[in-house]
Structure formats: C-alpha cells, structure tokens
Chains A and B, each alone.
Chain A
C-alpha cells in the first residue's frame, strides 16, 4: 500500500481566478511524489464532485480567495459525500478568516491552510492523514 501514490485533486470553485497558490501547491505536491490533478477555474461544486468521483482521488483540495468559501466549500463536500461513500481527505486554502475555520471543520474539512503555509507542511499533513486512513 505504501508504494501507491497519493492522488490529490485541486480545484477552484466559484469565480475567483487567483491561482498562484493552487498552481504552486500542485507543483510542490508533485515534487513531493504525489499525483496531482488540477481541475482549473470557475467550477461549480457539482462539477468538482463529478471529477472527484471519476478521478478516484484520496485528497480534495479547494481554494478560494474571493470570500465565497463559506458557501462553496461546504456545498462541494456535501455533494461529494452524497454521491460517494469513499473517505476523502478535504483540505482548503485561501483568504479564510479564523472564525470560519471551526465551521468548515464541522462540515468535514480536515485542515485549512492560510497564507504563509509552507508546502512541506501541507504535504506532511496529507501523507500522515492518508496513510492513517489507508
């Protein structure tokens, strides 16, 4: 099992086009030995959920810097959970005020990575969590 590569899907729900963070993260996680699928911009929660199902990923990473995270992230998680019984690791990043973090975690978000997070911190978290789940 340990030799199987971790599959990560990263997407930007909504209309936000700030993609520096997701692109840097995609490359960083690839360099850390993971398979990364970056879905791109302007996606609805439904489109992301379909892609997660098709790609059979371990991790779902969501990014938004426009302030729409409280409506789009929980909705995406909810739809994925409705259509798949698999256990996914949900993580997110963006401009997310501290007070929103507990609420996001209630919806099933495992971790929220804000500005200034090192890529190694995210990849370590993913590795530890996915290995535990497997």
Chain B
C-alpha cells in the first residue's frame, strides 16, 4: 500500500507523510510539482501558477532534506515519480540520505525514470529522446552498481492508458519501451541479470474487471518471454514482471463522485487478482481536485478491506483456469506481440515515438472512446446514463494562496546564503561530464550537495543538449 502524495511546500507534505505513516502506510510515494519535473526553479517565469500545485516544490537539496525531516531514509521505502529530471532528484535523495548518515546501499525504493512515455503521454520531457535515454540509462547503471535495493526504473503503461490507450496498447507500448531500456543497458556492456531484476513497471487498472485481470496475466507472460528469449536472461528474477498499479484516474467521474469509491474497489480487486505487487487507489474526488484528507483515507481503507477482509489476496492467480480469462489472456498477448513486431520493424520504441506512431495510435483510441461515450455505446454511470442534478458539496483540498510566494522567498534566501563559487565549479563539472560518455550521477550528487538548484542544473544540461519541442500531431 503506497499512496501517492505531495503538494504545496515541503513542510505541508512532510506533515501529510507523517499522517499517512500513522494510518499504516508502509511506503512513501512522492508527487513533485511540474516545475521540478521539467527542470525549472519556482522562480522561473514558466513556473508561475504551477508552484506546489500538483506536487511538492523541490528546488534544492534543502527542500529534499526538510521533506524527510523526522523520517529516517535508511528505514523506509520511497517511490520518486520523476522522469526528465530523475537523475537530479535521485541525486538529491541520495545526498539527503547521506546527510542523515545513511549509506547508499541501504536505500530502498523506486525512481520512475521512464522518459520515453513522456513523449507519448504527460509530456514532461526536456531533452531529445536520445539524450533522455542516455540519462535514463545513467541512472539505471548507477543504481545497479551502487544501490542494490533500489528499483532503477518503473516502466509506465499507466500514463499511456490515461491518455487514451486501450488495454492492449498500454501493455504493448510499455513492454516495447522496456525493451528499449534493456537494450540500452546491454549496449553499455551490462549483463542482463545484473540490472533486470531491478526493472519494474507501473500499469493502470481500469474498470473492465476481466479485461484488466487478463491484461496483467498477458503482460507477465510476454515480459518473461522477452527477457528469456530476446535478451537471454538466466536469472528468473530478471524475467519477473514486477508491477505497481495505479487505478486509472480517467475512470473517475466528477459527476456523483461517491460512485468513484465503487469504481476504485472493482478496479483494485482486478489488479489484486491479476497479481500486482503494490497498489495505489484513486481518491473519489480526484476528478474534481487534489484529494482531500478524507478521500485519501477512504482510498487507503479500500485497499485495507481488500487485503485484510476479502480474502482475495490469500491466493495467487485465483482466476487462472477460467475459460474466459485464459482465452482473453491469449488474445491480449497476441495483440501485444503484433504491436511489438510493428515497433521492431520501425527500429524500436524510440523510433516509433519519433515518427509519432505510438502517439497517433493512442490518440485514435482516445477519440474512438469519446465518441462511444458521446453516442451512448459505452455507458458511463452519471455521465451519459443515470444522471442527476446535483450540487457538489464535498470538502475539497485546497492549496493555500501564498505557497508560490513562500517558496520563491525560500529559494532566494537559499541562494544568498550558499557558497556560490562552489556551486559554479560543481555546475561546470556537470557540463563537462554531460559532454563526455561518463555516467552523470556522481557529478550530480556532488553538485546537489552545494545546494545548486534543479533549474540551475537543468540549465547546465540544456546548454549541452538543447531542448526538445514536440512534433505537431493533433
């Protein structure tokens, strides 16, 4: 049980983490605000209006240290949802842990680090795809060599599903991206079994119960075959499809929001019966705003009731052998294989992304779905059927007005108080390593310790690599 949380400033998020911890949350999952995800400081003009909105504002190591105030990083497990700036944020996490006295080898958790899907959905890329994969691979390699308890990548189907992909598309494109990352590591001379056991996935769980169970079973099968047959893995752990599930936020409706508790329960049951390793349930008010404390608690209670009362978690693959589930699993696996062959022919997932192929496939599905809902072929309770007039009076979580101001002040103060000459030297070192073929991580761990900011470090990298603009597809 690992609920996703983060908003406003580090002090407020720290308080929420402590609250969740007391409620029985066994791991932490950090949501970072968009400027951090795209490599801007809170003071950057592009950050206006976004500071602390859909995640916590992390500008420097100082923020990272205070985020974990009173929580020992050597003892917990943390999921960092970060992609384009994953190397920087992981470096900050490592530095914060070291300042607490922890060793790198003690750190347990996951960094998302799946930047390929950012060009397909969600769009928090900074650099071109080649550069991004180099940085992703730097993180994977560094973790394989220094952080044995850390999952170096979490390959995402979720965001593509949320962007409109069908179950088969989600599964196929996530696995195709996975193939690209494994290949990139092999190209560096890393033995498959030295890193693949630390590759994980995040998938969405939609409301179509049987299809979701079959999808998860098909993905498990397909990944095992890919690792064994394509990459010649020997260690069974390399073939394991380990995954975290997030209930698909898209299935939540703003209308009659309490119905979302039922939707979440059905979808959570599907992924538990499909064999997920961990799960984050969606709060019922997510289609309206960031979750309130009550909604976040009910989401967690949903999982606890499934885990401790329902009994479905007591057995592995409880639906295996059902004629329909077995048939559907085969169908989905066939669909996955067809897409992967097509992508292979294009030269792999990165090329397919650069050509806009994957984006177009998903966009087509999203449009088809919208039309099906609009014309009533797909029933959505409360949207196109069983609607009511309602006045939404649920208690919503609100972000204080002055969060942006406070964060900007804090950052200005930090910049005045630190040793700016040291910062400059460390930033130069980052540029130098970026131009070489060396792993960027050691230089990043050094630079964050000087309290250089996410924006400053990202700018140093932008100077070397340039910035990427999306090709027009819509």
Contacts and interface: CB of A to CB of B under 8 A. Distances in A.
B399 A67 contact: yes
Given A20-B163, A27-B474, A116-B383, A15 B374 contact: no
Interface stretch (B42-50, B95-103, B170-178, B268-276): B42-50
A103 interface: no
Given A15-B46, A17-B124, A27 B367 contact: yes
Interface stretch (A39-47, A51-59, A79-87, A125-133): A39-47
Interface string A24-40: 10111000000000101
A115 B253 contact: yes
Query: Interface on chain A toward B: helix, strand, loop, or mixed SS?
Result: loop
B373 A15 contact: no
B380 A116 contact: yes
Contacts of A71: 48-49
Interface in B37-72: 37-38, 40, 45-50, 53-54
Contact of B373 (A27, A41, A118): A118
Given A20-B366, A95-B289, A116 B163 contact: no
Contacts of A8: none
B122 A17 contact: yes
A23 B384 CA distance: 21
Interface string A64-97: 0011101110010000000000000000000101
A41 B250 CA distance: 20
B384 A118 contact: yes
Interface residues of A, number: 34
A68 B288 contact: no
A14 B164 CA distance: 22
B254 A116 contact: yes
Given A15-B35, A26-B474, A114 B367 contact: no
Contact of B46 (A42, A114, A118): A42
B383 to A, nearest CB: 4
B45 A44 contact: yes
B470 interface: yes
B53 A68 contact: yes
B315 interface: no
A114 B254 contact: yes
A70 to B, nearest CB: 8
A73 to B, nearest CB: 9
A15 B367 CA distance: 23
Interface string A4-29: 00000000001111111011101110
B50 A38 contact: no
A67 B474 contact: no
B474 A22 contact: yes
B282 interface: no
A114 B34 CA distance: 21
A14 B399 CA distance: 17
A94 to B, nearest CB: 11
A3 interface: no
B123 A67 contact: no
Contacts of A18: 122, 162-163
B370 interface: yes
Contacts of A118: 373-374, 384
B54 A24 contact: no
A51 B459 CA distance: 27
Nearest to B373: A118
Given A20-B366, A28-B367, A15 B38 contact: yes
Interface of A: 14-20, 22-24, 26-28, 38, 40-42, 44, 66-68, 70-72, 75, 95, 97-98, 114-116, 118-120
7 contacts: A14-B48, A15-B124, A16-B50, A17-B121, A68-B50, A71-B49, A120-B374
- 4 nearest CB pairs, A to B: A17-B123, A71-B49, A68-B49, A67-B53
Given A14-B48, A42-B38, 16 more contacts: A15-B38, A15-B47, A16-B34, A17-B121, A20-B162, A23-B474, A24-B164, A24-B367, A27-B474, A42-B123, A67-B54, A68-B49, A114-B254, A116-B382, A118-B374, A119-B371
Interface of B: 34-35, 37-38, 40, 45-50, 53-54, 118, 121-124, 162-164, 250, 252-255, 287-290, 363, 366-367, 370-371, 373-374, 380, 382-384, 392, 396, 399, 470, 472-474
